[in-house]
């Protein structure tokens, strides 16, 4: 067992939620959503934000550029394959950042070099060196990744790492691209590379979760010499996902007697970050997810409940408040005033301008009339359901007629720039009928790809959050809606997608994404 020292060593947190995380099947973040997450990552205190893969599409390039211009604090990185066009695109993407980084990569395992690249090892080294030199012409901070490093031959890894460091790489990443390795192997690999590189070079890990070992492998990498860990909020990412940021951070924080490491993460922002990424990506967090899942601090067993009532630490190794959650119920209701409402939002970490408070308070009163007692998650859903998508169309009214012997019929009234439009449509279910009526009223008809619904709050009148991914032409769009009525939430989500179509938002999936 490793014992902690009196002075823990600092581990950089490299967040790739907006790059590797967004490559999760079904996830398509627009520019505003990516920017919103990036600002939250800065509040969370991550050291590096990998903002995207600029060569992937003009939209991805623009998204990286906005983050580089507007988000301050973290290093802003853009991913690039080891090629001139990719690196030049990444340089354009991070050009406006205070602290820009280009992250370039090439595969180094025998199977990748032979089957994918069709290159000999000497050619791979040459291409990697050229890429790093080119990147150093644009920025001082260059990271190099050896894709599929954990299935690569160790002598070749050392050779290519020494070559790129001599060419100007400042960080060297050893990714477990396919989630293949084990903690013992990872620890030994990092120790071996550390012995063969100059001390100023930062070693980084990037672990995937195909065998459920991403967090364990990331921690083992730190024990072997890694001083940067690449991870994502909620562990989202390619296939089974990436190492979970919140789990790594809280492992270091909770077991300081074992792990001699610290991070710059503001742990009280973890839950808020998790909820935001889940809402905007459309990927629900499993209830039993460590740290941020609904059941992470829940106790149903009578023995456990008795123990927690007597002393919380009997069954809780960390407290909910430490990660930004509430241990108890936040009691708010229809009799609560605006000052109490504002204070409740502030306690949850929201600093909202007075003009927006007015609209939110009206929504709060309406919800309280329908639901009675309001919980913290109700307030989160109320705040986070609003986005900066231009509201070309607004749902004023909807009504569903249905019965055991009737096909559902939906009526909608929608405010448009040309006045109020009304429409009706039938469907195999109430949700399909509402979608059809909205399409008829707006004249826009996206194609539904993914539909998800989950309860986001407590109680018999819990808020339902509907998350939809749809396609319009070659553009993939994502919308969410929150309401105590799932059909109403579905209609709000669908209308949000249509408003994105009008605003020209969404994301093209025409270009293959990069992977590390």
Structure pTM?
A: 0.77
Is 453 or 377 the better-scoring residue by pLDDT? 453
Q: Which of 175, 293, 167, 179 is nearest to 240 (CA)?
A: 179
- Confirm whether 293 is domain-assigned: no
Give per-residue pLDDT as tens, 440-463: 999 999 999 889 887 766 666 667
Query: In this structure, are 56 and 167 located in the same domain?
Result: yes
The lowest-confidence range among 181-185, 264-268, 307-311 is: 307-311
In a shared domain, residues 155 and 265? yes
Report residue 178's pLDDT band, with 50, 70 and 90 as the boundaries: very high
Here the CATH number for the domain that contains residue 66 is: 3.20.20.70
Same domain, 219 and 313: no
Q: Predicted confidence band at 162 (pLDDT cuts at 50, 70, 90)?
A: very high
Which residues make Cβ contacts (< 8 Å) with residue 114, sequence separation at least 6?
none
208 is in an annotated binding site: yes
pLDDT in tens, 100-112: 999 999 999 999 9
Range of the structural domain that residue 192 is part of: 9-281
Q: Return the CATH number at 496.
A: 3.30.160.270
**In the chain, % of residues over pLDDT 70:** 88
What is the per-residue DSSP string for 286-311?
Answer: PTT-TTTSTTTT---SHHHHHHHHH-
CB neighbours of residue 184 within 10 Å: 11
Residue 322 included in any domain: yes
Residue 296 placed within a domain = no
Whether residue 476 sits in one domain with residue 332: no
190-217: average pLDDT: 98
Query: Is there a single domain that holds both residue 246 and residue 166?
Result: yes
Separation CA 60–CA 38 (nearest Å) = 14
Q: Is the pLDDT of residue 58 over 70?
A: yes
For residues 369 and 261, state if they share a domain. no
* Predicted local distance difference test score (pLDDT) of residue 349: 64
The region of weakest confidence among 61-75, 325-339, 403-417 is 325-339
Total structural domains within the chain: 3
CB-based burial label for 257 (10 Å; 0-12, 13-18, 19+): exposed
Segment 27-37 mean pLDDT: 89
C-alpha span between 439 and 416 (Å, rounded): 13
Judge if 199 and 72 occupy the same domain: yes
Q: Residue 464 pLDDT more than 90?
A: no
The string over 278-317, giving b where at least 16 C-beta atoms fall within 10 Å of a residue's C-beta and e elsewhere, is: bbbbbbbbeeebebbebebbebeeeeeeebbeeeeeeebe
Does 190 share its domain with 82? yes
Is residue 255 assigned to a domain? yes
Residue 1: inside a domain: no
**Listed residues 216, 249, 281: the one ending a domain:** 281
Residues of 65-81 as b/e, b for ≥16 C-beta within 10 angstroms?
A: bbbbeebebbbbbbbbb
Of 507, 511, 377, whose CA–CA distance to 454 is shortest?
A: 377
Residue 1 pLDDT: 47
User: Is residue 121 domain-shared with residue 70, that is, in the same domain?
Assistant: yes
Q: Has residue 290 been placed in a domain? A: no
Task: Give the mean pLDDT of the chain.
Answer: 88
For residues 267 and 339, state if they share a domain.
Answer: no
> Do both 117 and 214 map to the same domain?
yes
- Return the minimum-mean-pLDDT range out of 277-286, 313-322, 430-439, 457-466: 457-466
State pLDDT tens for residues 475-501: 888 888 878 788 988 998 899 899 888
Q: Across residues 317-328, what is the average pLDDT?
A: 77
The domain boundary residue, chosen from 353, 384, 415: 384
User: Burial level of 459, CB count in 10 A (0-12/13-18/19+)?
Assistant: middle
Higher-pLDDT residue of 504 and 135 is: 135
Whether 516 is in a domain gets the answer no
Q: Would the annotation count 31 as a binding residue?
A: no
The answer to whether residues 229 and 374 belong to one domain is: no
Residue 433 domain flag: yes
CA dist 363 and 375 (Å) reads 14
Which of 233, 248, 281 marks a domain boundary? Answer: 281
The per-residue pLDDT for range 129-139, each reduced to its tens digit, is 999 999 999 99
- Close Cβ partners of 135 (under 8 Å, ≥ 6 residues apart): 80, 87, 90, 91, 102, 104, 142, 168
């Amino acid at each position: 067992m490793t014992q902690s020292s009196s002075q823990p060593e600092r581990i950089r947190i490299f967040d790739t939620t907006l790059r590797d995380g967004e490559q999760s099947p079904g996830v398509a973040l627009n520019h505003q959503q990516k920017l919103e997450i990036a600002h939250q990552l800065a509040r969370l205190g991550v050291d590096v934000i990998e903002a995207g893969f600029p060569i992937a599409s003009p939209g991805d390039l623009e998204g990286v550029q906005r983050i580089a211009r507007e988000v301050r604090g973290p290093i802003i990185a853009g991913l690039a394959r080891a090629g001139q066009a990719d690196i030049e695109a990444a340089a354009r993407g991070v050009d406006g950042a205070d602290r820009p980084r280009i992250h370039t990569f090439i595969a180094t395992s025998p199977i990748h070099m032979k089957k994918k690249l069709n290159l000999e090892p000497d050619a791979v080294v040459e291409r990697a060196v050229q890429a790093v030199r080119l990147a150093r012409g644009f920025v001082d901070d260059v990271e190099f990744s050896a894709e599929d490093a954990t299935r690569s031959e160790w002598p070749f890894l050392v050779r290519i790492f020494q070559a790129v460091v001599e060419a100007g790489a400042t960080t060297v990443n050893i990714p477990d691209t396919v989630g293949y390795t084990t903690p013992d192997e990872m620890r030994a690999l990092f120790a071996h590379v550390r012995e063969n590189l100059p001390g100023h070079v930062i070693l980084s890990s990037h672990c995937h979760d195909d065998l459920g070992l991403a967090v364990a492998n990331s921690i083992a990498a730190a024990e072997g010499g890694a001083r940067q860990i690449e991870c994502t909020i909620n562990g989202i990412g390619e296939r089974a996902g990436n190492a979970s940021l919140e789990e790594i951070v809280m492992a270091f924080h909770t077991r300081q007697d074992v792990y001699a490491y610290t991070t710059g993460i503001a742990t009280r922002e973890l839950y808020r970050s998790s909820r935001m990424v889940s809402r905007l990506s459309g990927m629900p967090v499993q209830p039993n997810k460590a740290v941020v899942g609904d059941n992470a601090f829940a106790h149903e067993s009578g023995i456990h409940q008795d123990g927690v009532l007597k002393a919380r630490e009997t069954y809780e190794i960390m407290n909910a408040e430490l990660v930004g959650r509430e241990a108890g119920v936040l009691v708010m209701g229809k009799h609560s005033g605006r000052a109490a409402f504002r204070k409740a939002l502030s306690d949850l970490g929201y600093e909202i301008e007075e003009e927006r408070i007015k609209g939110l308070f009206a929504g709060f009163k309406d919800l309280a009339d329908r639901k009675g007692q309001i919980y913290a998650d109700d307030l989160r859903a109320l705040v986070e359901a609003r986005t900066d998508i231009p509201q070309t169309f607004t749902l004023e009214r909807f009504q569903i007629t249905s019965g055991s012997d009737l096909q559902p019929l939906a009526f909608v009234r929608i405010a448009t720039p040309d006045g109020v439009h009304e429409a009706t449509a039938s469907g195999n279910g109430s949700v399909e009928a509402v979608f059809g009526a909205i399409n008829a009223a707006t004249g826009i008809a996206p194609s539904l790809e993914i539909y998800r619904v989950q309860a986001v709050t407590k109680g018999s009148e819990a808020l339902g959050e509907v998350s939809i991914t749809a396609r319009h032409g070659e553009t993939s769009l994502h919308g969410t809606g929150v309401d105590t009525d799932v059909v109403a939430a579905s209609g709000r989500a669908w209308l949000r997608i249509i408003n994105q179509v009008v605003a020209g938002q969404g994301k093209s999936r025409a270009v293959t994404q990069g992977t590390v």
